A and B are shown apart, each in its own frame.
Chain A
Amino acid sequence: MKGDKTIKVDVLARVEGEGGLFVKIKGGQVESVQFRIFEPPRFFEALLCGRCHAEAPDITARICGICPIAYMTSSSQAMESAFGARLTGPLRELRRLIYCGEWIESHGLHIYMLHAPDFLGCADAIELAGIQPEMVKRGLRLKAVGNRIVTLLGGREIHPVNFKVGGFYRVPGRRELLALTEDLEWARDAAYDTVRWVAGFDFPVFEQDYEFVSMHHPDEYAVLEGRLVSSEGLDIPLEAFEAHFREEQAAHSTALHAAVKARGPYMVGPMARFNLNFDQLPPMARRAAEEAGCVPPCRNPFKSIVVRAIEVLCACETALDIVAGYDPPPSPAIDFEPHSATAYGCSEAPRGICWHRYALDEEGVIRSVRIVPPTSQNQGVVERDLRRLVERYADLPEDRLTWLCEQAIRNYDPCISCSCHVVQTS
């Protein structure tokens, strides 16, 4: 019948992890939309029980190979704040620096290898390299600079080994860090050029209303810590997360869906941070955003690629500041006495807030865990975007509409492996 259409993508490409897409249109009306996740469950929350608090950073890192720093930071900070060992001074700066490395690496990967090919009609970055080789080379080099920071501070780029509850095992000397300067200056300029490049892409007209949720810190573009705020006026400490947000298991496929209890689906990640914390961007990132005509409120998810590029620039500027002002701390870690506690931690993973809660017994052994990764939080808005997109572009030929839907999912850089507590589709 006319107006009947099914869009089905069994294996979604250029996303991290295993997911699919299913949209059913009947009589011109969208009947059902599913962003399917069939990543096998790995039960991290269960397997952490009985482990020592000190093991949490290394174990939770394995939830995601793309953003291990986010997991290591959120888990370490949870323990540190519960045991009264919050990092300050150079130790805190080193944590920020390694996090900048992860942002540069992860955003660089997404912009150049996963997302840009969509805007230029290429199947992948290799094909893109055929028409714009210099761009792809720049992207790969940018990503390599991010990885270099993570490797210097962490030992290796994926699952670094130098994270410890209370600080680090070993901290770099001043000269070791300063050696990053030249690379970072190149990366800062490359990031600026990246903003200009992606801002010139064609964006589908698709302005939407979202409730944006991110962390907010009084003094900096929040990455490591802050309160949880939203564009609808939410302003709560980390500990209150569960009172305001809920996660539900959906029968049809997917990961646990998250929602603001009072209102519904919400968006986390680059666009949320950008819209809520724009004033705190460092000067060059802010200027680049203004030149690119990308200023809050940015409500077109397809423009998230521009926001990611602005955040890469922000990370490069921040990293350069940290490197220039670094004086090694007297000790690589601070001491603490474990005791029974409920530990809360959160940080801004490249894809959005990564929230952790641990119940610890008197010896610091983990007794229960809850981890809320960014991708499962975006699940609701991803499906809503798909529905509205299909309604709006229903007349496109099926292959074009399918590609557009895929692109709409990639707007969120979904990290499906991250959705550690994920439901198996049947």
Chain B
Amino acid sequence: MPKMRKPKLAVWKFASCDGCQLTLLDCERDLLTIAGEIRIAYFPEASRTFLPGPYDLSLVEGSITTPHDEERIHKVRRRSKIVVAIGACATSGGIQALRNFDDVRRFTRAVYPRPEWIQTLKKSTPVADHIQVDYELKGCPIQKTQLLEVITALLAGRKPCIPTYSVCVECKRRGNVCVTVARGVPCLGPVTQAGCGAICPSYDRGCYGCFGPKETPNTASLTHMWRAALGVEKVDILRAFRGFNANADAFRKESETHER
């Protein structure tokens, strides 16, 4: 194999909790191996060395919520060959996208005594609403092995192998008893993308959708069942879909039908 230049990695933060980039540092066993294969060129949370671009791979955490960030995300795009949006904030707008359903001025007044000093956009939006994104990795937070797969695949020039089926498949694989069927617990598993390993049902609770909608989710059928068979109140359906991926298309649309 020819000796190759180490690819340069950059990690960028927008409105977020830091958890998704922490996932990279949480790869404790593999971290030094990764650092041996990749040049960590820009990752402020980990290093005070900032190498200039262009970067081979940029991981972007967080949603776009301010005029300044609206511009900054374009700079990231210009300096990067591959851009990957990581986590619910970057792929759907995150929990802070709840403002999209409300009046952001009311929000600002609720938190700050001097709201006029705050600069913020009306909506919290995913990275792909602003620039072309090469790949989106879902999850609140993202999952470690999926992150490593995405980095490895994209740097090798292939498509990452990330399933788009539902959490139900993971439950079956783990041999979990279905929390909805057996105990009548509302669970977003049937409409949520796999990836977490079905942890909520494994811990005796319903999935709360932190990986966002799966490919072609039938949310209407699920909520019909919740209402008819489980007697779930409208307000609780609304809350279930207004979570960490409230602004993801399928979840947003479903929540809007329960608003009245």
Which residues of A approach B to under 8 Å, CB–CB?
11-18, 38-47, 49, 51-52, 55, 58-59, 62-66, 68, 109, 113-114, 117, 123-127, 129, 133, 136-137, 140-141, 143-144, 147, 155-159, 161-162, 164, 169-170, 249, 251, 256, 332, 403, 406, 415, 417, 421, 423-424, 426
Contact = CB atoms under 8 A, between A and B. Distances in A.
7 contacts: A13-B47, A14-B44, A40-B120, A45-B110, A64-B18, A117-B48, A158-B141
Q: What interface size band does chain B fall in? A: 35 or more
Contact of A140 (B23, B31, B205): B31
B106 A46 contact: yes
Interface of B: 13-20, 22-23, 25-26, 28-29, 31-32, 35, 40, 44-50, 62, 65-66, 68-69, 94-96, 98-99, 102, 104, 106-108, 110-114, 117-120, 140-141, 196, 199-200, 202-205, 208, 210, 236, 239, 244
Contact of A426 (B35, B95, B119): B119
Given A16-B45, A44-B95, 20 more contacts: A12-B44, A15-B45, A40-B120, A42-B95, A43-B96, A43-B108, A46-B111, A62-B95, A64-B18, A68-B19, A129-B35, A140-B32, A143-B28, A159-B140, A161-B199, A161-B208, A164-B205, A251-B117, A417-B16, A424-B118
Nearest to B99: A43
Most chain A CB inside 10 Å of its own CB: which residue of B22, B99, B108: B22
Contact of A417 (B17, B113, B196): B17
A12 B236 CA distance: 41
A170 B119 contact: no
Given A45-B111, A49-B110, A406-B48, A424 B96 contact: no
Most chain A CB inside 10 Å of its own CB: which residue of B23, B62, B95, B99: B95
B35 A159 contact: no
Contact of B20 (A65, A127, A147, A426): A65
A155 B112 CA distance: 35
Contact of B18 (A14, A47, A66): A66
Contacts of B200: 155, 161
Contacts of A47: 95-96, 98-99, 102, 107
B25 A40 contact: no
B242 to A, nearest CB: 9
A62 B45 contact: no
Contacts of B141: 65, 156, 158-159
